[in-house]
Structure 1
């Protein structure tokens, strides 16, 4: 039986499509991603809201861009007269994983060949898990403050502060305040020849 269409709107259905398109079983993808088969199965069936750390592991295991996670309900239509390079504020692709998880908005439609940029809102007292994959990451604090650890160094950033680091280094974020923190976040994809 062929895999379901990728146009399904639920995250779990899109994830199943990409897994089956690569000929991977639940167990094979779970092993590659370093997560349990049970969690992966629940995510595909829509009965588990995965953490960003879990999503990152699955995305990396499938070789998908981070834009894969975002709902893009209003992509620019080719006959709408809108310039294809524009993403209007009302049409930003969104990622919602629940009230205690970060809210992300892509600042472009679709998957970029070179880099992706987005805003991330960290809820009060949010603590991310550690992440690490080949990339360059940078950004700018728009609101609030964030405690950022990259490698073995930890620092606090406030409004107007910016950052740039090698994404292969383990890194995590924490909002130490009672208010939402908002970041501009940029991910540059490394070309294959730089990954050798």
Structure 2
């Protein structure tokens, strides 16, 4: 059990992590772009401290601080925890660079070489968002699974669909696993815990579609 001096030290460490050392450092971090500064700015706009968001998302204060400072690439499961805690669209977590010559192009169009990208953890998994416009219902993306990689088990209030575009994946849901090949597809309740695995020595690619469900469908 920690004594009062140790608890005071922990609190000071958390407060130090939550505050920039000076205004110029905070500005430099924010202007550099990326998920960390974007998440930090949004959290602060919601008047949430690191400890508060960590508690809401069931993520440790240390991991959350490392993500905000760009020192940790979050896993898919961690992203989903933060997303659910803050009720954010998936597009918030993607890094995006819009071409200058297409700056006035309608948001309905998403060029293949300008897709927003989100990378997860150490295994090299990534998602390419297939739209720029903020989605009201559908979220469409391509998931790249490197050889011998897997996602965390996850669940989210939604209906999900998928189409295997390249390679072979193993889809697990409710304790059962099935191998899927190119052309095979899925449609399932996203609240059921599920996982994607690539157990081969070749890369795999799937199209992933998420339909966010209204609250009345979840009751």
The TM-score with structure 1 as length reference comes to 0.90
2:133 pairs with 1:133? no
Partners of 1:182 and 1:30 in 2: CA distance: 32
Deviation string, structure 1 residues 134-174 (Cα, Å, up to 9, x no partner): 01110100000111111232111110000011110111111
Query: Which residue is equivalent to 1:45?
Result: 69
- 2:176 counterpart residue number: 153
Q: Is the 8 Å Cα contact of residues 18 and 62 (structure 1) preserved in structure 2?
A: no
Q: Partners in 1 of 2:103 and 2:152 — Cα distance?
A: 42
Largest Rg, 1 or 2: 2
Following superposition, the deviation at residue 20 of structure 1 comes to: 1.5
Give the TM-score normalised by structure 2. Answer: 0.81
- Paired with 1:152 and 1:169, the residues of 2 have a C-alpha distance of 10
**5+ residue gaps in structure 1?**
none
- Distance in 2 of aligned mates of 1:76 and 1:107: 19
Q: Is this contact kept in 2: 1:75–1:109, CA < 8 A?
A: no
Please identify which structure carries the higher helix content. 2
- The answer on 1:113 being equivalent to 2:136 is yes
CA change 1:34–1:79 in 2 (3 A) is closer
CA distance in 2, matches of 1:75, 1:150: 39
RMSD in angstroms over aligned alpha carbons? Answer: 2.5
8 Å Cα contact 1:76-1:84 kept in structure 2: no
Q: How far did 1:32 drift?
A: 1.3
The answer for the alignment partner of 1:21 in structure 2 is: 45
Query: How many correspondences in the alignment?
Result: 195
Indicate the residue corresponding to 1:60 in structure 2. 84
